Amino acid sequence: MNSKKPFSKDIILLNNLEEVVDKIIRKLQNDVLINIKRLGAVVGTSGGIDSSVCLALAVKAFGPEKVLGIIMPEKDSSQESEILARELASTFGVKNIIKEDLTQVLSGFKCYERRDEAVKRVFPEYDPSTYKMKIGIKQRGLSNNLPPVFYLTIIDKNGNQKDQMLPVKEYLTIVAASNIKQRSRMSMLYYHAEALHYAVIGTPNKHEQEQGFFVKYGDGGADVMPIGNLYKSQVYQLAGYLGVPKAIIERTPTTDTYSAEQTQEEFFFQLPYGLMDRYWYGYENGYSVDEVAEVMGESKEQVSALFANFERKKKTTEYLRMAPVRDYYGQ
């Protein structure tokens, strides 16, 4: 007999936050202190909602003196990120908050140079000292059966904007160069974690994990991911419950990767998180297209195309989640 709850718009909301937080904290303590035998936790703090909730959970699990917050700005970072990260640390009594500026590291990897050369091949007038840049998806809607293609946008100092569909070579180069940022952050987190015999707390949420919106061995590299199974709406619920500063909760989630401001919705998700959460819940819990469409007030065709899109995304990003293949010779 099917005991599944009928699908509703509130189905993803957590009802007992105290119990949820308590469960997460107990598991964090067990995983970090007992299973992997580390003494505390390192959290990369970006001033965003996900890393803020992770820091708050780590403080609850290990105490503020056993948590190290690391702010890792680089020349494309928004200054607001550091201000918010410091406000967060102060809110939760974390005195061990340090700043590691990664600009020199990234210059050493030629991260900016490699990226800017690719941008110039598309827009010869692009000058990184006067232009900002980002890549993103044009909103064609998730219900389109074609996968998205990426566009490059450059913005001059007067705010004039130009967009162009990215040729594949330039797209791959820009993404590969930009991913050095996430991988450098991961290296820095592990440096401090190993120096203190702490664990690295990974900050991706459920959507980022399951839809592949993370960098393999970058922000996807961590020891534990306490919000890795939570929808974004649930992360916001926890943020409110835990007392994350209002300025962080109200901030639009960005990728913090390109010099021009860019929302996560614009770059990857294509749907506001509130809608994405509900459709994804319906999809992964096997609710029928008819039931989800009726509750969400959307056509069956649209929901069916959305589910197909999710299926495709999950399949094509499996590579990001898989461990290195090593069973080449069985013994």
Partner 1 sequence: MKHDPIAIKEKVKSYIHQAAYVENDKIKDDSLVFKEGYFDSMAFMVLITYIEEEFGIKTNDADLTEENFESINAITDFICRKTQN
Compute the least distance from the CB of residue 48 to partner 1, in Å. Answer: 25
Of the two residues 2 and 145, which places its CB atom closer to partner 1 in the complex? Answer: 145
Compute the least distance from the CB of residue 155 to partner 1, in Å. Answer: 19
Compute the least distance from the CB of residue 257 to partner 1, in Å. Answer: 18
Is 317 within 8 Å of 211 (Cβ atoms)? yes
Compute the least distance from the CB of residue 171 to partner 1, in Å. Answer: 6
Q: What distance in Å separates the CA atoms of residue 46 and residue 74, rounded to the nearest whole number? A: 11
Compute the least distance from the CB of residue 213 to partner 1, in Å. Answer: 13
Closest to 119 measured CA to CA, from 171, 156, 158, 178: 171
Of the two residues 22 and 301, which places its CB atom closer to partner 1 in the complex? Answer: 301
Specify the residue for token string 């619920």: 237
Q: How far is CA 330 from CA 2, 289, 324, 326, 327, in A?
A: 41, 43, 16, 10, 6
Sequence-separated (6 or more) residues with CB below 8 Å from residue 78: 254, 256, 261
User: Which tokens sit at 16?
Assistant: 């007992």
Of the two residues 167 and 274, which places its CB atom closer to partner 1 in the complex? Answer: 167
Compute the least distance from the CB of residue 305 to partner 1, in Å. Answer: 9
Closest to 154 measured CA to CA, from 173, 172, 128, 175: 128
Of the two residues 150 and 190, which places its CB atom closer to partner 1 in the complex? Answer: 150
Of the two residues 135 and 239, which places its CB atom closer to partner 1 in the complex? Answer: 135
Q: In the chain, what is the greatest distance between 2 CA atoms, to the nearest angstrom?
A: 65
Helical spans, DSSP H, in 74-132? 79-91, 103-108, 111-122
Closest to 266 measured CA to CA, from 178, 162, 138: 138
Of the two residues 157 and 312, which places its CB atom closer to partner 1 in the complex? Answer: 312
Of the two residues 95 and 315, which places its CB atom closer to partner 1 in the complex? Answer: 315
Compute the least distance from the CB of residue 148 to partner 1, in Å. Answer: 6
> Interface residues with partner 1 (CB under 8 A)?
138, 140, 144-150, 165-169, 171, 308, 312, 315-316
Spell 78-116 as b/e; 16+ CB within 10 A means b: beebbebbbbbbebbebebbeebebeebbeebebbeebb
